[in-house]
Amino acid sequence: MSMKEFREERLKKVIQILERSQEPISGSRLAQDLGVSRQVIVQDIAYLKSIGYDFISTPRGYVLSKGRSKISKLVAVKHGTDEIMEELMCVVKNGGRVVDVIVEHPIYGEIRGMVDVSSEEDVIKFVNLMKMTKTEPLLALSEGVHFHTIETHDRESLEKILHELRKKGFLIEEE
């Protein structure tokens, strides 16, 4: 088998493994299962994305979008650093995913960071990582005002999330 054929076969296997999985699969596990380095898997995923496969990279591993329709909404919120966990939990406990955080900076313009939390466990890991690394969140650059892209699988979940954010006083709404 030539190197090209070996690579094509490996790419097919990556797709098959991720299509069958209900949970994210780490690059290390894929590498081990396919007998290559993790860096090879990272390159394979990048290539597959470039030709149209919808892979999502999460802190727990890769997921292949299975074509489920998603509802996405950009929301404006405001709160302090000590309320980050509470805000993120409002989203994930009601069936949502926080994709990113965006702040407007007076010099640099829009600054975006990936959050990618969709479970209570994800939120705890995210907040603990911020504490362990003593990293300032982006909201510190904008007096607590920031935006999130929130994804859900249905309109009802999105409405519940917005209701909870509103109830907590986090949601900034147009008058």
The helix, strand and coil proportions of the chain, stated in percent and rounded to the nearest 5, come to 45, 25, 30
Three-class SS state of 17? helix
Task: DSSP for 138-164, please give it.
Answer: GGGGTTTEEEEEEEESSHHHHHHHHHH
How far is the C-alpha of 3 from the C-alpha of 85, rounded, in Å? 47
Position 106 scores a pLDDT of 86
Give the pLDDT band (50/70/90) at residue 37. Answer: very high
pLDDT at residue 13 greater than cutoff 80: yes
Q: Using the predicted structure, report yes or no on whether residue 78 has a pLDDT greater than 90.
A: yes
Q: How confident is the model at residue 174 (pLDDT cuts 50, 70, 90)?
A: low
Query: For 95-148, how does the pLDDT look when each residue is reduced to its tens digit (9 = 90+)?
Result: 999 999 999 988 888 998 889 899 999 999 999 999 999 989 988 899 999 999
Of the candidate ranges 74-78, 102-106, 159-163, the one whose mean pLDDT is the lowest: 102-106
Asked whether the predicted pLDDT for residue 89 surpasses 90, the reply is: yes
Give CA–CA dist 127/104, Å, rounded: 22
